[in-house]
């Protein structure tokens, strides 16, 4: 027989201890998982009831019947159990399936009271960021059609002169006598008016202020002189006759 070195023996013992430890940890985990599976299911149902919104149908209550605990990978425990004896140099022993007694209905945990769903507070909505003002630049045509300036309107023709140029005389009569007046027209305007003859009962000096009024007003309409009304009327008619000849 070949002797076994101490280092090889130590490695074998260490491997055996590791395998046994793994098997023990897996067994404890499996037993704890089987015991807490039903309680975990109830907590999940309670969490679903709390988060259910008001008005939604109530989720079905869990059945009190016992459901056997199924491990996600039942072959893990058997593989670990079979590996441990092989590392120790022994024949693998197939673990016997363990059964868990059904929980009697009398000791089933009462259904939790449905808690009122908490009021949902809407999360504050942040206002949208202000949009920057976009400046729209409208291109301007470089070449602008030149518009010919409108021709200035022709000035209106000057009004035709009312009288022809020259010197014109006329007579005016009254109850107290006659008066002759001479009117000078230059450029269609009255430039002067004078009394050339005074054949009235009274002196014509009382109406000396009337001839200048004809030039200023460009009209035979003169004022009426108090206490010399007949002489003023005779001078008026004399100017009217003279201007009538100038047309």
How high is the pLDDT of residue 94?
Answer: 56
Torsion of CA 214, 217, 221, 224, to 10 degrees: -80
The Cα 137–Cα 133 span in angstroms is 12
Reported as a single tens digit per residue, the pLDDT across 105-130 is 444 445 554 555 555 666 667 666 66
Answer with the residue of higher pLDDT: 113 or 242: 242
Other Cβ atoms less than 10 A from the Cβ of 215: the count is 15
How high is the pLDDT of residue 66?
Answer: 44
Element (H, E) at 246: helix 229-246
Average pLDDT, the chain: 73
Q: What percent of the chain has pLDDT over 70?
A: 55
β-bridge mates for residue 200, sequence order: 177
User: Is the predicted pLDDT of residue 198 greater than 60, yes or no?
Assistant: yes
Reported as a single tens digit per residue, the pLDDT across 61-86 is 445 454 544 444 555 455 545 544 45
How high is the pLDDT of residue 45?
Answer: 67
- Looking at residue 178, the DSSP 8-state letter turns out to be E
Average of per-residue pLDDT across 212-236: 94
CB of 87 within 8 A of CB of 15? yes
Lowest mean pLDDT among 112-116, 117-121, 134-138, 180-184: 112-116
Half-sphere exposure of residue 61: CA atoms within 13 angstroms, side-chain side? 10
Q: Which long-range contacts (CB under 8 A, 24 or more apart) does 207-213 make?
A: 207/231, 207/232, 207/235, 210/235, 211/181, 211/235
Average of per-residue pLDDT across 134-163: 67
Q: In what order do the strands lie in the sheet with 189-200?
A: 166-174, 177-186, 189-200
Nearest-5° Cα angle at 33, 61 to 48: 30
The Cα 208–Cα 228 span in angstroms is 11
Binning pLDDT at 50, 70 and 90, where does residue 104 land?
very low
Q: Which fold has domain 166-246?
A: Sufe protein. Chain: A (3.90.1010)
Instruction: Count each helix (H run) and each strand (E run) in the chain, helices first.
Output: 4, 3
Binning pLDDT at 50, 70 and 90, where does residue 194 land?
very high
- Looking at residue 198, the DSSP 8-state letter turns out to be E
How high is the pLDDT of residue 76?
Answer: 47
Average of per-residue pLDDT across 41-61: 59
Q: Where are the domains of the chain?
A: 6-107, 166-246
Backbone phi and psi for residue 168, each to the nearest 5 degrees, phi listed first:
-130, 145
Average of per-residue pLDDT across 147-161: 75
């Amino acid at each position: 027989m070949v002797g076994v070195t101490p280092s090889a023996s130590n490695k074998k013992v260490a491997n055996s201890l590791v395998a046994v430890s793994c098997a023990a940890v897996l067994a404890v985990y499996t037993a704890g998982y089987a015991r807490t599976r039903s309680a975990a299911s109830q907590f999940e149902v309670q969490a679903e009831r709390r988060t259910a919104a008001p008005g939604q149908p109530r989720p079905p209550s869990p059945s009190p019947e016992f459901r056997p605990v199924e491990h996600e990978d039942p072959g893990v425990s058997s593989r670990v159990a079979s590996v441990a004896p092989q590392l120790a140099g022994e024949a693998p022993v197939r673990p016997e399936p363990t059964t868990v007694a059904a929980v009697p209905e009398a000791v089933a945990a009462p259904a939790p009271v449905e808690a009122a769903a908490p009021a949902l507070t809407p999360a504050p909505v942040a206002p949208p960021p202000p949009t920057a003002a976009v400046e729209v630049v409208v291109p301007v045509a470089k070449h602008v059609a030149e518009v010919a300036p409108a021709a200035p309107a022709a000035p209106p023709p000057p009004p035709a002169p009312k009288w022809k140029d020259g010197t014109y005389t006329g007579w005016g009569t009254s109850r107290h006598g006659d008066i002759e007046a001479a009117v000078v027209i230059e450029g269609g305007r009255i430039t002067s008016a004078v009394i050339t003859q005074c054949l009235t009962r009274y002196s014509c000096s009382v109406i000396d202020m009337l001839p200048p009024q004809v030039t200023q007003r460009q009209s035979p309409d003169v004022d009426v002189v108090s206490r010399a009304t007949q002489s003023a009327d005779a001078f008026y008619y004399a100017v009217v006759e003279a201007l009538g000849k100038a047309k």
